[in-house]
Amino acid sequence: MVATTLRSIKSLVPLLDRVLVQRVKAEAKTASGLFLPESSVKELNEARVLAVGPGGLDKDGKRLPMGVSQGDRVLIPQYGGAPVKVGEEEFTLFRDSEILAKINE
């Protein structure tokens, strides 16, 4: 875990083609309102994009366009990415090309 003293995740400005996301939390209680033990809460691979970098550089130093934008709901890979912790909240930094798909729902 990449530990920080940040007061707010909003202070983080991703570099190059990095994408800062926060994983969508699976419900820890059932539909009828019962709280589930933590081990039965599935980890989801959906995330919300909080911030995106300006794009990587091609071989001539030009910026390559980013595939996702702030606010996008996205499908993220099961492994990889650099974890960041702000207070008790966890976030992840991916490269733009690692994001699998957008979710339009």
The footprint of a copy of itself (CB under 8 A) covers 1-8, 11-16, 18, 20, 24, 26, 42-46, 53, 57-62, 64-65, 67-68, 75, 77-78, 82, 84, 93, 97, 99-105
Q: What count of other Cβ atoms lies within 10 Å of the Cβ of residue 100?
A: 13
- Least spacing, CB of residue 55 vs a copy of itself, in Å: 9
Report the alpha-carbon distance of residue 21 to residue 28 in Å, rounded: 21
**Closer residue to a copy of itself (CB): 24 or 90:** 24
Report the alpha-carbon distance of residue 37 to residue 95 in Å, rounded: 33
Residue 104's SS3 state is: coil
> What is residue 42's DSSP assignment?
P
- Least spacing, CB of residue 88 vs a copy of itself, in Å: 13
- Least spacing, CB of residue 43 vs a copy of itself, in Å: 7
